[in-house]
């Protein structure tokens, strides 16, 4: 069964460093998302991406965050200068028209 794949599964970084989280969405999907889940809290929407541009973003997704689809298969989330409060599980997700949103296994980011 096709699945969303994410790398790395776990990353530890120092505060202030840049981090790039990578995702390979399901191949025929057109809509891409990033969500995050801080330990013990709800899953929160960050950003949606369609047709090579951001279609919607939450108040969490400030200027420190950016997304990119550098080629036909990858979808990345960059955090420019990480803060302690960016420590969370980051989920990539994708879907086709009218269908359910499928999530990857997540990238656990720890900022120290």
Partner 1 sequence: EDKVVQSPLSLVVHEGDTVTLNCSYEVTNFRSLLWYKQEKKAPTFLFMLTSSGIEKKSGRLSSILDKKELFSILNITATQTGDSAVYLCAPNYGNNRLAFGKGNQVVVIP
User: Could you give the CA distance from residue 106 to residue 71 in angstroms, rounded to a whole number?
Assistant: 21
Q: Interface with partner 1 includes 106 (CB under 8 A)?
A: yes
Q: Which is nearer to partner 1, 9 or 81 (CB)?
A: 9
Query: What are residue 103's DSSP bridge partners?
Result: 93
- β-strands 88-95, 31-37 pairing: antiparallel
Q: Interface with partner 1 includes 102 (CB under 8 A)?
A: yes
**Residues in contact with 73: Cβ distance below 8 Å, sequence separation at least 6, in sequence order:** 24, 25, 27
Q: Closest distance between partner 1 and the C-beta of residue 7, in Å?
A: 14
For residues 10, 67, 73, 110, the Cα torsion angle rounded to the nearest 10 degrees is: 0
Residue window 38-77: x/- pattern of binding to partner 1, with contact defined by CB under 8 A? ----xxxx--x------xx-x-------------------
Q: Interface with partner 1 includes 35 (CB under 8 A)?
A: yes
Residues forming contacts to partner 1 in the complex (CB under 8 A) are 31, 33, 35, 42-45, 48, 55-56, 58, 89, 91, 95, 99-106
């Amino acid at each position: 069964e096709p699945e969303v794949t994410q790398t790395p599964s776990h990353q530890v970084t120092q505060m202030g460093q840049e981090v790039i989280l990578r995702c390979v969405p399901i191949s025929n999907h057109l809509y891409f998302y990033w969500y995050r889940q801080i330990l013990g809290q709800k899953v929160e929407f960050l950003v949606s991406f369609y047709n090579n541009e951001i279609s919607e973003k939450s108040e969490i997704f400030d200027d420190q965050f950016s997304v990119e689809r550098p080629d036909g298969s990858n979808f990345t989330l960059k955090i420019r200068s990480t803060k302690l409060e960016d420590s969370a599980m980051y989920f990539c997700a994708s879907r086709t028209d009218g269908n359910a949103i499928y999530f990857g296994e997540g990238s656990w980011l720890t900022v120290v």
